[in-house]
């Protein structure tokens, strides 16, 4: 009988590799790294989350990927023993290990972390202006620009004042981790546009707005005001952040529910959002 299943008990401490990022529907390559002089004779790739699964092996010069794991039909073992996965699914995130054994019987384990992200959607940008009664200098417009990407977490926000060689924005103008920008505009800024970029490690998207188009209109009864962003936008941003954290540990929100919990994890309908101002 084969005795290679006993190799893990002989291993030294595992070497932790870099974090690898992939996009849902795309592909990713998990690289097996061998030190100089290490001539690989056998290799074992495993997925360690949510349960340990055998994904691919290399024995006696032959690769094998036909194991009944969730990666069956999506895994490919390259000649250099790196593991390719495609198409990626959101539930593929987790740790992977590769056990390498050389011709002298030495064993080496490498751990890699895979993070699979959704492509970021087009962000939604809103303009909140200071209505009559709010203190502001004459012939100027004080505004807050709110930017957010619906139904997605683990993203970053950045702003750019168009027509400048750099970002052209003071750091003190940002709020809620860059999601909200404070601007002060005068008559010379009628055509100035601001762009909000949302990004994650695998994708990015941009929306642009010209705030003066909202500023030069007199506030009508019921019109969204500068102060509303404190009562609406910031709490919503905090709520979205909380939802992102909840999805990390709750199986129903993360889309990683085990088979016996599928009946309690129902589909959720994305909330409606306003069209982006471009």
At 151, is the pLDDT very low, low, confident or very high (cuts 50, 70, 90)?
confident
Which domains, from first to last, does the chain contain? 4-117 (2.60.40.10), 124-224+235-245 (2.60.40.10)
Per-residue pLDDT averaged across 56-74, rounded? 95
Regarding pTM above 0.75, the answer is no
Cβ contact 30:85 at 8 Å? yes
Per-residue pLDDT averaged across 7-32, rounded? 78
Q: Which residues partner with 251 through β-bridges?
A: none
pLDDT in the model for residue 193:
93
pLDDT digits (tens, 9 = 90+) for 169-206: 665 566 767 889 998 888 888 889 999 999 999 999 99
Q: Cα dihedral sign for 109, 36, 106, 40?
A: positive
The fraction of the chain above a pLDDT of 90, given in percent, is 46
The fraction of the chain above a pLDDT of 70, given in percent, is 65
pLDDT digits (tens, 9 = 90+) for 23-40: 999 999 999 998 888 999
Looking at every residue in the chain, the average pLDDT score rounds to: 77
pLDDT in the model for residue 208:
95
3-class DSSP string for 131-167: CCCCCCCCCCEEEEEEEECCCCCCCEEEEEECCCCCC
At 277, is the pLDDT very low, low, confident or very high (cuts 50, 70, 90)?
very low
pLDDT in the model for residue 260:
47
């Amino acid at each position: 009988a084969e005795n290679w299943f006993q190799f893990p008990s002989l291993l030294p401490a595992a070497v932790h590799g870099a974090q690898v990022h992939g996009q849902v529907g795309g592909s990713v390559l998990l690289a097996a790294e061998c030190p100089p002089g290490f001539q690989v004779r056998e290799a074992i790739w495993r997925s360690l989350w949510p349960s340990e699964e055998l994904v691919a092996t290399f024995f006696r010069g032959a690769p094998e990927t036909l194991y009944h794991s969730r990666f069956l039909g999506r895994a490919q073992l390259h000649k250099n023993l790196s593991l390719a996965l495609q198409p990626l699914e959101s539930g593929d995130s987790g740790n992977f290990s590769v056990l390498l054994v050389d011709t002298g019987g030495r064993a080496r384990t490498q751990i890699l972390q895979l993070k699979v992200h959704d492509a970021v959607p087009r962000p939604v940008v809103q303009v909140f202006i200071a209505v009559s009664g709010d203190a502001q200098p004459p012939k100027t417009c004080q505004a807050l620009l709110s930017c957010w990407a619906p139904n997605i977490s683990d993203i970053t926000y950045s702003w750019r004042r168009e027509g400048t060689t750099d970002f052209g924005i003071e750091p003190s103008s940002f709020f809620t981790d860059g999601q909200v920008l404070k601007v002060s505009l005068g008559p010379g800024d009628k055509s100035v546009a601001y762009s909000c970029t949302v990004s994650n490690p695998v994708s990015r998207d941009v929306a642009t707005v010209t705030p003066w188009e909202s500023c030069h209109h007199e506030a009508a009864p019921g019109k969204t005001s500068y102060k509303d962003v404190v009562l609406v936008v910031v709490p919503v941003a905090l709520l979205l952040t909380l939802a992102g954290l909840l999805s990390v540990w709750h199986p129903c929100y993360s889309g990683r529910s085990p088979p016996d919990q599928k009946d309690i994890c129902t589909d959720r309908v994305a909330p409606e959002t306003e069209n982006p101002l471009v």
